[in-house]
């Protein structure tokens, strides 16, 4: 498939999976709940959440967390 064709697809048809959704699927129930609370708390910077995840071994950055918070990621399209 060409780039032009891929870019014409609606977001919900793209194959890329949200990084935060992948991370959440790997967390314990307790950690998953803590992450969700942090994501919902806008007083906690996205960069702080990303740093905590990086410290736990996950490859993520503040922009990925911010995109998830704004519901601009692919997990929203499901």
**pLDDT class of 1 with cuts at 50, 70, 90:** low
What DSSP designation does 40 have? H
Q: Per residue in 13-57, pLDDT tens? A: 555 789 999 999 999 999 999 999 999 999 999 999 999 999 999
Cα torsion 22, 43, 11, 53 to 10°: value is -20
Predicted TM-score (pTM) above 0.85: no
């Amino acid at each position: 498939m060409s780039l032009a064709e891929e870019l014409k697809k609606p977001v919900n048809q793209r194959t890329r999976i949200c990084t935060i959704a992948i991370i959440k699927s790997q967390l314990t129930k307790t950690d998953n709940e803590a992450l969700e609370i942090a994501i919902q708390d806008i007083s906690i910077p996205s960069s702080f959440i990303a740093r905590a995840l990086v410290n736990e071994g996950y490859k993520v950055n503040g922009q990925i967390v911010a995109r998830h918070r704004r519901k601009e990621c692919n997990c929203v399209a499901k």
